[in-house]
Chains A and B, each alone.
Chain A
Amino acid sequence: QTVVTQEPSFSVSPGGTVTLTCGLSSGSVSTTYYPSWYQQTPGQAPRTLIYSTNTRSSGVPDRFSGSILGNKAALTITGAQADDESDYYCVLYMGSGLWVFGEGTKLTVL
């Protein structure tokens, strides 16, 4: 079964830039997987950040951006803020109506 891989954890300093990635256990992520990104803080439902690789959801600050870097999807946070400390999940559309979540990255801002 396909595994969508993400870094388990990442740390960034306030004001710094961090890039989280989303890969496949076998194969490359491309725009045809329509990668999307979601932010989740403890006790809350996920919030949509980015969809279709690089489109920001309504109300999402422009310090969040999405792209394809090499063979992975990427979420870049530029000018990280304390309230960006969250879990981040990518989702890939696998075709035939099926979606798969990545394993998630716990981002610490300190």
Chain B
Amino acid sequence: EVQLVQSGAEVKKPGESLKISCKGSGYSFTNYWIGWVRQMPGKGLEWMGIIYPGDSDSRYSPSFQGQVTISADKSISTAYLHWSSLKASDTAMYYCARHDYGDYVIPYWGQGTLVTVSS
């Protein structure tokens, strides 16, 4: 069974750094792209970016380029989303999701990680 398990909720202050994680299991982690999706409170889903754990090739939405960093450690089947300096506007639920380019579908989703940034 394919599973994406994300790290737990975080409460941070503006200016702090943060890295959240997404651990894949039940499939060959290095062979599928993993992406991140933001959902601000009461708002829609926004595609942030994606990484191929096999070679760490990554792509970013223009809206998120330079704002976050996506990385992966294939030795532990885990992808990461990193902020170097959080802002209050980063408060949101973040989902990781496997992207399948053969069928151009996002078939598997993590359970979400709630990030709250408040002074």
Contacts and interface: CB of A to CB of B under 8 A. Distances in A.
Interface in B32-58: 33, 35, 37, 44-47, 50
Interface in B95-119: 95, 97, 99, 103-107, 109-112
**Residue of B46, B47, B62, B95 with highest tally of chain A CB at under 10 A:** B47
A51 B103 contact: yes
A1 B62 contact: yes
Given A45-B111, A89-B44, A98 B106 contact: no
A66 B104 CA distance: 14
Given A45-B111, A101-B46, A104-B44, A96 B104 contact: no
B65 to A, nearest CB: 11
A103 B46 CA distance: 8
A91 B111 contact: no
Interface string A47-66: 11001100101000000000
A46 B95 contact: yes
Contact of A101 (B33, B45, B111, B112): B45
B103 A99 contact: no
Interface of chain B, main secondary structure: strand
B61 interface: yes
Contacts of A96: 59
A89 B97 CA distance: 15
Given A36-B106, A98-B59, A103 B111 contact: no
Given A1-B62, A48-B105, A99-B35, 10 more contacts: A34-B104, A36-B105, A36-B106, A45-B111, A46-B37, A46-B45, A52-B105, A91-B106, A100-B61, A101-B45
Interface of B: 33, 35, 37, 44-47, 50, 59, 61-63, 95, 97, 99, 103-107, 109-112
25 contacts: A1-B62, A1-B63, A34-B105, A36-B105, A36-B106, A38-B45, A38-B106, A40-B45, A45-B110, A45-B111, A46-B106, A48-B106, A52-B105, A55-B103, A57-B107, A89-B44, A96-B59, A97-B59, A98-B59, A99-B47, A99-B50, A101-B45, A101-B46, A101-B47, A102-B44
